[in-house]
């Protein structure tokens, strides 16, 4: 069923519009989970720890793809609404070219920083050596990861989320087969695990490039253009809240790793990253529902359709609240099974991870509030409020809790740090909601 941004959205249309992308992100999340499963069970714990210590920094750089893709899609959507398709194509091409330039800069910078950063975390020598190998392989192909994240948004604006879903499924199957062959059948080491992940990302980015070059019916196409500072800067500034969310999460992962190594040792980093694999699946459902509602909010905001703005807000809140209850209960009930998938070979680590998942998963019941409203304010063209919510909940409050809770209540309670920070973020979000309700006329 074809759905246009100008339509009235009931529950069915909202879910139909967002579900392909959510399913695609589930495959994207499972994509990383499958890597973790094979590395943990068939390459062993040091390699698994190395992958998990490396991943936050890779995501930190890839967050530029989220930033450009999310707000760039809003800018392109607005331009298309103004019936200026040549300019929309120009913006689209410009943003993709800009990401390639960013990749060159970051690859050179981070190639030499992997060793010093891992030394700061006080990782063991075996783990450090694996980190350097894994990191440098992925950095070579990082441009494809950045483009992959950006194309997710551009396919939505191009009104072809169904096609992107098919690509995601195909790449997920390919990555799983490569992991199985390289790590289980041929018993390869961590270099080949990194290469399997990188090759999958290459395919994931190349297929959209071919599509936008060859499909003459596509609204978005590559055109010749110079880089212009104004639209790029606007996309970076207005998309900063979403990028800040990913950036902050990556930084917090690094800090969490530091605290866990400090209090428990290298092996216990594995427990946190099993939690993160659950996070990839659960939280990204909130994130990507919110991200793909943003173009709808954008369209109705510029069209001054306040009635539809209220409608999308009300129905989305109900959908996400119901999802929060289901996801929290799922994580609590199946915590032991989720842990066992990765660390069945170590009884002590299995028990520790199960308890950690149960404490950490309380986060999901409140997290959707801050995620959705931050994205909603992005759609309302208020990047200051959106970025403030993201910055406080994902950076300031989290850092305070990560470093204070272990000393106030004991190291085993560090898993509640994110929940406490999220609750503080809810108070900030509600304050902005009350303050801005008359300006944007979204109150029911």
Sequential DSSP letters for 150-202: HHHHHHHHTT-HHHHHHHHHHHHHHHHHHHIIIIIIS---HHHHHHHHHHHHH
State residue 201's pLDDT score: 79
Q: What is the pLDDT of residues 328-366, one digit of tens each?
A: 999 999 999 888 888 887 788 888 889 889 998 888 999
Report the pLDDT value the prediction gives residue 285, as an integer from 0 to 100. 82
Residue 61 lies inside a defined structural domain of this protein = yes
pLDDT in tens, 99-112: 888 878 777 777 67
Q: Confirm whether 6 is domain-assigned.
A: no
Q: What residues make up the domain containing 20? A: 11-440
Based on the structure, what is the number of domains in the chain? Answer: 1
CA distance 341 to 49: 16
- At residue 267, the pLDDT reads 66
Residue 433 domain-assigned? yes
Task: Please indicate whether residue 109 or residue 91 has the higher confidence score (pLDDT).
Answer: 91
Q: Which two tokens stand for residue 323?
A: 């999802």
Residue 220 per-residue DSSP state = S
265 within a domain of the structure (yes/no): yes
pLDDT band for position 369 (50/70/90)?
Answer: very high
pLDDT at 377 over 70: yes
Would residue 2 count as lying in a domain? no
Which of 333 and 201 is assigned the larger pLDDT?
333
Three-state SS string over 267-291 comes to: HHHHHHHHHHHHHHHHHHHHHHHHH
Cα separation of 355 and 206, whole Å? 41
Q: What is the pLDDT of residue 428?
A: 94
| Residue 135, token pair as written in the block | 């990191």
Q: Residue 103 and residue 98: Cα distance in Å, rounded?
A: 9
* 168 falls within a domain: yes
CA angle centred on 193, ends 137 and 345, rounded to 5°: 140
Examine residue 334 and state whether it is found in any structural domain, yes or no: yes
pLDDT at 322: 93
For residue 1, is it within any domain? no
Confidence of residue 223 (pLDDT cuts 50, 70, 90): confident
């Amino acid at each position: 069923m074809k759905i246009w941004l100008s339509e009235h959205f009931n529950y069915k249309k909202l879910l139909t519009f967002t579900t392909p992308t959510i399913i695609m992100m589930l495959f994207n999340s499972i994509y990383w989970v499958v890597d973790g499963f094979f590395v943990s069970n068939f390459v062993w714990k040091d390699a698994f720890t190395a992958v998990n210590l490396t991943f936050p920094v890779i995501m930190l750089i890839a967050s530029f793809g989220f930033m450009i893709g999310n707000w760039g899609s809003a800018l392109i959507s607005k331009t298309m609404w103004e019936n200026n398709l040549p300019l929309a194509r120009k913006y689209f091409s410009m943003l993709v070219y800009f990401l390639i330039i960013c990749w060159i800069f970051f690859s050179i910078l981070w190639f030499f920083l992997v060793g010093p950063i891992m030394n700061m975390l006080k990782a063991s020598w075996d783990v450090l050596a694996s980190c350097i190998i894994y990191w440098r392989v992925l950095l070579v192909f990082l441009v494809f990861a950045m483009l992959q994240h950006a194309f997710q948004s551009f396919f939505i604006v191009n009104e072809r989320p169904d096609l992107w879903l098919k690509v995601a499924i195909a790449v997920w199957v390919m990555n799983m087969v490569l992991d199985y062959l390289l790590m289980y059948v041929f018993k390869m080491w961590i270099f080949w695990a990194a290469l399997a992940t990188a090759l999958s990302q290459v395919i994931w980015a190349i297929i959209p490039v071919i599509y936008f070059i060859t499909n003459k019916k596509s609204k978005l196409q590559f055109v010749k253009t110079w880089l212009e500072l104004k639209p790029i800067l606007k996309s970076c500034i207005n998309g900063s809240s979403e990028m800040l969310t990913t950036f902050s999460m990556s930084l917090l992962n690094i800090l969490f790793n530091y605290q866990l190594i400090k209090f428990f040792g290298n092996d216990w980093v594995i427990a946190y990253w099993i939690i993160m694999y659950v996070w990839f699946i659960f939280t990204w459902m909130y994130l990507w529902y919110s991200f793909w509602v943003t173009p709808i909010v954008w369209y109705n905001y510029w069209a001054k359709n306040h009635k539809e703005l209220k409608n999308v807000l009300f129905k989305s809140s109900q959908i996400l609240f119901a999802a929060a209850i289901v996801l929290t209960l799922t994580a609590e009930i199946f915590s032991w099974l989720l842990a066992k998938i990765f660390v069945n070979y170590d009884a002590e680590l299995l028990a520790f991870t199960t308890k950690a998942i149960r404490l950490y998963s309380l986060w999901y019941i409140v997290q959707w509030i801050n995620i959705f409203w931050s994205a909603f304010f992005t759609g309302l063209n208020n990047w200051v409020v959106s970025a403030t919510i993201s910055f406080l909940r994902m950076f300031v409050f989290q850092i305070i809790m990560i470093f204070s809770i272990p000393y106030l209540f004991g190291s085993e309670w560090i898993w509640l740090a994110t929940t406490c920070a999220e609750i503080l973020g809810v108070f900030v979000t509600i304050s902005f909601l009350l303050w801005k309700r008359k300006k944007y006329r979204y109150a029911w």
